[in-house]
Structure 1
């Protein structure tokens, strides 16, 4: 979420010896024919670009720095800039770009341009490159075998590129000595010793801030004491951080401004401590207070979620703060004083009292009184949308007052390890149920010699903590141990621990561990299969799930069906979650939606906030399975907010994966990249195979929709396979139809056929009502000849019965394409029109664009409102070529895309120019931008 700072690079680099040495080692490896990747990150003004330029100057091999292309991130613009820097002629660059977009990828293009030549390639601001280029580079780095060394810089607050084994360096602050040398280089006027010291103190080693301030500081008058206020002006900070602030979405910028203003003592007061990191510069403010007034500045809760997720803001829901104190001042420096007073007025406390940042009444703190109440962060005025403030969550049922007060002042002074451990476990579990943020109450420490039940509850608390925010393998083991320790003394809690252990194993994609958690053997598990106190529904769930994991589905249906019927009518959240899981395993998506909706209502009624992310996660999965993508996205957004406010990063990763999958349906490629990247960041660290599979699937669907079939097939191939690199065991078959479509388009029919045969066996099990229609579509894609029409018609018939409109529209689109390519234009118009209408109803923008382009190519009456006037009079083929030209494609790229010769493309383009009365590609792009609103290519 950050951009490049707009500060001139320092003449020399200081305190970057280790970073330059790492680049030199990389260059040496390239000279030896061994490629590698070095990742370089840093905040605004830390000198990423300057370091890359120095690396190019010092390189022992041919080196280039390639900046992020400006403009609107045209697809493949980054790779085009890279290859243009290396190619001797523009025509060679075009040939290399075609190779990069083909099966050979970027390594093939580099090998063609520079055969055997070692290179040092410095890619600046990777986060600003277009998605197509980033994906192609990721694929190249994962299999990098050429003599190419890559130094890749990206801004802090962004996810690093996915490069296994790559070294990551972070540019930090300068030492005092380095800061002094830099100041000597960049300062234009002589400074007195006192002013010099103040400047070095306030800059705190930040090279960009130091350089920007030194360029602005005026000459000090003789005998003067220097500036009375801060030496570093807010204007200098705004200059350094302008790239970051300009790159933020408008909503995020407004929320960031709210947090900065809310932490001010008064709207027009100066900061008592100007030094970076001072207490006043980091004053926290409650998230509830910010959210309550966000509507007044046209900002949504998602904007605050994004700022916290990216690390620009830190802290808990009750106390937010800026991660970088300079950023706070930079934000304030962009807000005029009058506007600052207006925003501050929204946080004025009500007359007759004031509240603290959490929304509760402020205590009688003497220090606060001494400052006239200014030290407390303000809270919303009732007239200023203050209704959004929430009180502390109520104590959950079953949690006593005593369990929540052990260890507070007034407790017995004599230490009792057993009592303290039991109280700690109770407090942790109570905080979990009540929805406190992670870290508010710590998991209890292990105390030797504890009774089994007390130790079991402590392990249960530890397992809960790891399940919410930690490696799920650790959570699985802790919960298994808890179940074993609680089995005799607390069978109900043992049952809960087993269910949670199964959830951890399921998230990790380990069916064997799931069976162990259900009592299928293994140390620490309940091997009897009939725990005391287990009711009939619990036994049915255990027996049914074990049969399903062993792919004995006839044995699984009856017991799991009884679980859905019995527990699905309960008001117990644990039973409802169990029933919903059973419904998903049976493939009964409508029942899963109904049960999880009931669970959601129960959670909200009992204010058990910490359970909400799990319920919303399962509900979103069920809605995705039933084709309700936008509803799934809405629930995932709510789940994401709750997961982040309660510190459950694992649940947040699952919600990001759902949002990525929903965005792939809409065709929102930036949202896919954003959410999938966040999901993968946590999934890889915590072993969340389920979230990883969904995130990779969403990226592949976006690639397929954007015409990148080869990349989509390469991404999906591991997910449909078995083994450690494979996808989640419960999702493999769901991914197969997408893989078959991508593989057929990419010329990998043999792999597609193998996957389709396995999918046919799975389809016969009856676990997914969508499978028969998807299987018939796969058969049609693989047949290729006259039999395809029969398979497509059978697929449509199955889709009519299953009721998933999106999958039906996908099949109709594929059928229409097949008919059009065989010159059966009149027949193609009906399925394409039907697909277009369905995609538009589902807000599936990129798929609707495909259907619209295909329909135009048949001469059908596609929606021409987007191309009025003379543009609307172009032939369908001319419209497609014009759209691609406006998107920045060359004639050769258009020829590859439309299976035409470059000469034919040139002929069509000359006719387009003549019809529209224009002379250049630039005029064409501008004309389409004015007539369509965005000028985007309609051919996807």
Structure 2
């Protein structure tokens, strides 16, 4: 997805009157991250635009001052001023407001006189006789004005006297702020008056004017360049559109959705150009009377693509179009049909215009704000909904004609824009050409590694037309192949329709069914159906080992479901047989990758040696895109295996290379899986800063892919567990397929069962912990791959000993020890030692238990798994206390507390400190932390950046893995050190890099 460029919100100092009289003005300000307007009718609060708001407050709080607030229609200028007027810094300041109206003949001084009618509400200072000229203009306050002087015969002199009187009346108001909204609609006299006032404003007057630069009839908002007098604080503030994170926050607010998918926000930003008003109206239309909507990728895209243009947007565009000539309307409609910014010659070809008539019509459309020059010499609309409004107004026959013209014009381009040609052919009802262009566009996208584009093109034509059996089979086969590379299991519906509706050859049918099955196994709850489709496809492709190989290879992989290892071993043998019959280097690489990664997953140490030989013999050379995808999959899958069995450093190194290869090859599915492995590695190795947010984003982005969502949920559950948020942890664990292991990723399911037992045990629910342990152990015994039970078995043993079920604890250890014997799995070895230590402690053998816990700590440090190491140190210390070795125990317990604290596990550190206090052995550290003085510490800088992004304390706590109380302390320190009066000012400070 390409995001539209964002115009930054900047503050541009006004020019000084002379070089000797510089103006006090603010320096340029960068756009705030997460700038967003809240449009909840129940609480119309500005929750973004912090930088601009702070700028306005600082300017108008010290007078005399002038602010020219510029922005296109819908940017939120009026809303920003409304928030300004609520600020406590303006307490005691008289606010005078007036608005310009889009009248054919605006009243002279209309908005200023409207503002001055409010002076009667407060006492005013003395006025000279010249102020009496305002009696006819302001009859509402005539009793406050001196007698009217005799009129002057010279109109210019009389107008000058009126100007003086208005400036004097403004000065008599004392501390005051004059706000004039929509100055672009003002008459010339009003602009002249404002220029007169601002050229030498009263000492206690601040002025804010808002305007649209595109609607100004002259070169500037005041008609002539404004050069403020000496001592006047002045600046021009430009409001730009919202960026993607801000649009995401706005969507979350309006749709009442706690989180909104990144891809939906990007699509919404693309559709609305980030213009706040357009975003608001679009979201209101999306939400509709039924309330909130689900805004995942597929649903969100479908809703946005089919959304009717909101009424206010349609009316605004209709009004602009009504001012155009017939030829300018033709130009606008042609631009709408083209759908992308286009050169004038192409627009003219559709409109049937050329030369001066074309230039004149285009200029009129630009002046009316219907079209704009998007990039140099290319013209289009401000946003997609404006374009859709114009497009929808075109009659059906005319639309078809224009699309046909566009197709003919673009076909002559070199190279031809195949995606656009396919779209125009579709809209022109040229089905044959649509199929031809769509398939060609997909072929091109596949060659370039643009996976999503290829999928979209093929799926659209298969769903939208009725091709011949030969064409449908060929395109569906391509779609099924490229979908395996991308993240699109949603195409299975299209593929299954092709299989059901067309008479296909066995090979074509088997290939499509095979790839459909491979896609289905990735979808949550579809593992069994996917495997069944693959097995059927293997039978259909029995005579072609090259085509059957992928299915055989899939069934050989044991990681999914509760099917016993012995069943997979049968397919492993078939995979080795078919490998010897393959000539395709990509297929051979795929089977090699899965064979080695699969063996590493079940603790076969020779897999790592074979991988090193493979790298040495074959290097990292992959010729085709398909081979690069398999190479990326190889590296990432092996890293995943390493992360599960405990080779964490090795896994991290391999994963880094795998993600690099995957990104270069456009292997989106591989990239998603690799990022999921990265999140779990971060959890295991104690790299928790920002991990909650990363895991949540992964779960949202890949919500259709069970392997990624379940693993992300596992990480989130672990973080919640350490924070002591046990209900939250159970909620996340429920999303791991723990209760439906037949459809789950077995490594995740077994780990989740162990984590659930630990959560319930920590909450004091021993029966619940035993139930989780029983479920997990039964699943492990059915699967018979014990190296994946490294988390499960110690937790199960802990639950059993708390319940007095020592025989069950002993049996769990025996099964586990037998299952991992001879396996290369450091995590399982640590898990076995931990389970044995727990049982020894329960049997009263505390010295032996302490020694065993020491072994666990050493194994954990070597992997490294710091949380497990600190846990083992703590439990070992408790055993030493029971054994009477108090001195060593307290030293170890103190070290465990320090380790927990450094990791961010405040709850566990507190538990250790409590034990130390019980034994009178804990005192606050005399050394203390490094002092940063008035400088922000590294953690405080992270908090400041998240505050600038509009994060709540809760979001900061989750993102940085801190307790809410710790976040409150950090926020207070940030505000104090930055000299910020509120959280909203932190954005400006960080944008200017003014923090120490």
Higher relative contact order (CA 8 A, sep 6+): 2
Please identify the structure whose Cα radius of gyration is greater. 2
The structure with the greater share of residues assigned to helix is 2
Relative to the length of structure 1, the TM-score reads 0.48
